[in-house]
């Protein structure tokens, strides 16, 4: 059995930096999709790939469980980096690792990047998406179709690097000639549907042409995220190479470049160079989720400790102005909306402003939650509300005075 490999990673049309990373070091293949502010996502995915590359050398390729250790080491390395550098706090990355040994493929997976298998014209998703909506689909609370358009589909419940340890999904399958495997970041699967992915793999037997075409289609559909497609085509070792086929070179590892101090833009990688990108999605094997917190988090106990951690880290950077049960205007971390009964907010602090002190026409907005860019922005919005309340109070006083 021999394999043909193609890869393309592209920044897409909407983002400035490619925070995706990949590694091709036959028989090891990895796609990682980093997240975090500024260059942090880039650092997370590149660190994952670098650590995996180092650790894999010592791993027992025939023992899938050793892959769990490899990903846990990558997790620790990212976690430690984020703990020692405040600018990297909260960074994380998905990671989908595939290795081939004795005609068997072993997958180790965390996050919402995906692995697919095309066999006999049928495309199967091998991995499970470690996302909130993915969980809701598995629990039968959301259809696959609804999940694809759900406003919270980007909330990831399990990734590398946001906690000191991580749960890793493991999956093995026997390969047969003509199988096509695809590892990809969510920048591909959020832009084009599985029907088009299947059709593209079927119509492009050349692995590099298929990877190129998939990225091209995702960009044509909007390219809203970084896009990485890594295609592995399993060939019968007895069959001759098709004309023009580019054999994978087992001796030359290819991987995305490490993050630069000033991130390059318009980055794109193929063949012997590579790139990285940003957000995430995923697959099917077992459970998942992320990180936790402190006081008054109304929400996520039901999601399990792991999922909890990641959601919290995502929500840490979101603020809004709302109202607490006592009718006090309050600044919250998180998001005003609930997801399937899960509250995604944590009280930051009260404001000594009663909702009842605001003009009536403003109360609905506050009750629904006024989103803010930052804590400072939220404070400014509260200051504005207080001004309105004050002038509203003065008007009331004036009216009363005039009517006396």
Residues at the interface with Ca ion (CB under 5 A) = 33, 185-187, 225, 279-280
Q: Work out how close the CB of 351 gets to Ca ion at its nearest, in angstroms, rounded to a whole number.
A: 36
Q: Work out how close the CB of 272 gets to Ca ion at its nearest, in angstroms, rounded to a whole number.
A: 23
Residue number with CB closer to Ca ion (279 or 334): 279
* Rounded Cα gap, residues 163 and 289, in angstroms: 10
Q: Extract long-range pairs of 262-269: CB within 8 Å, 24+ residues apart.
A: 263/16, 263/17, 263/39, 263/42, 264/17, 265/11, 265/16, 265/17, 266/11, 267/10, 267/11, 267/17, 267/18, 268/8, 268/9, 268/10, 268/11, 268/18, 269/7, 269/8, 269/9, 269/10, 269/18, 269/22
Residue number with CB closer to Ca ion (92 or 307): 92
Q: How many CB atoms lie within 10 A of CB 214?
A: 29
Residue number with CB closer to Ca ion (14 or 176): 14
Half-sphere exposure of residue 45: CA atoms within 13 angstroms, side-chain side? 39
Residue number with CB closer to Ca ion (55 or 186): 186
Residue number with CB closer to Ca ion (3 or 311): 311
Q: Work out how close the CB of 218 gets to Ca ion at its nearest, in angstroms, rounded to a whole number.
A: 11
Q: Are 100 and 27 in contact (CB under 8 A)?
A: yes
For Ca ion, the nearest residue by Cβ is 279
Q: Work out how close the CB of 376 gets to Ca ion at its nearest, in angstroms, rounded to a whole number.
A: 28
Query: What helix, strand, coil percent values describe the chain, rounded to 5?
Result: 35, 30, 40
Residue number with CB closer to Ca ion (169 or 225): 225
Distance of CA 218 to the CA centre of its chain: 17
Q: Work out how close the CB of 279 gets to Ca ion at its nearest, in angstroms, rounded to a whole number.
A: 3
* Rounded Cα gap, residues 310 and 300, in angstroms: 11
Q: Work out how close the CB of 9 gets to Ca ion at its nearest, in angstroms, rounded to a whole number.
A: 11
Q: Work out how close the CB of 389 gets to Ca ion at its nearest, in angstroms, rounded to a whole number.
A: 42
* Rounded Cα gap, residues 364 and 131, in angstroms: 31
Residue number with CB closer to Ca ion (42 or 225): 225
């Amino acid at each position: 059995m021999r394999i043909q490999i193609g890869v393309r990673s592209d920044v897409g049309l909407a983002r400035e930096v490619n925070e995706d990373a990949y590694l091709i070091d036959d028989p090891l293949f990895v796609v990682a999709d980093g997240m975090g502010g500024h260059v942090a996502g880039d650092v997370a995915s590149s660190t994952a790939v670098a650590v995996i590359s180092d650790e894999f050398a010592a791993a027992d390729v025939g023992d899938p469980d050793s892959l769990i250790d490899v990903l846990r080491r990558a997790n620790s390395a990212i976690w430690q980096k984020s703990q020692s550098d405040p600018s990297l706090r909260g960074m994380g990355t998905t990671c989908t690792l595939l290795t081939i040994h004795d005609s068997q493929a072993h997958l180790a997976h965390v996050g919402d990047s995906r692995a697919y298998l095309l066999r006999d014209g049928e495309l199967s998703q091998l991995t499970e998406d470690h996302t909130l909506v993915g969980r809701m689909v598995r629990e039968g609370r959301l259809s696959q179709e609804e999940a694809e358009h759900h406003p919270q589909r980007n909330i990831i419940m399990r990734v590398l690097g946001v906690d000191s340890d991580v749960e890793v999904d493991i999956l093995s399958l026997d390969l047969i000639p003509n199988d096509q495997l695809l590892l990809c970041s969510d920048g591909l699967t959020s832009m084009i549907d599985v029907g088009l992915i299947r059709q593209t793999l079927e119509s492009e037997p050349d692995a590099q042409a298929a990877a190129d075409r998939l990225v091209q289609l995702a960009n044509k559909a909007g390219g809203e995220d970084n896009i990485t497609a890594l295609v592995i085509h399993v060939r019968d070792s007895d069959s001759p190479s098709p004309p023009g086929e580019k054999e994978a070179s087992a001796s030359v590892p290819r991987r995305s470049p490490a993050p630069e101090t000033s991130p390059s833009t318009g980055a794109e990688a193929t063949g012997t160079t590579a790139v990285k990108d940003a957000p995430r999605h995923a697959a099917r094997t077992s459970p998942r989720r992320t990180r936790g917190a402190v006081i008054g988090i109304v929400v996520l106990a039901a999601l399990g400790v792991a999922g909890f951690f990641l959601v919290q880290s995502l929500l840490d950077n979101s603020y809004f102005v709302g109202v607490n049960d006592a009718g006090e205007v309050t600044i919250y971390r998180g998001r005003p909306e609930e997801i399937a009964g899960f509250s995604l907010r944590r009280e930051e602090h009260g404001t000594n402003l009663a909702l009842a002190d605001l003009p009536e026409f403003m109360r609905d907005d506050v009750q629904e939650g006024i989103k803010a860019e930052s804590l400072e922005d939220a404070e400014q919005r509260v200051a504005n509300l207080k001004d309105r309340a004050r002038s509203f109070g003065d008007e009331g006083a004036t009216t009363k005075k005039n009517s006396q």
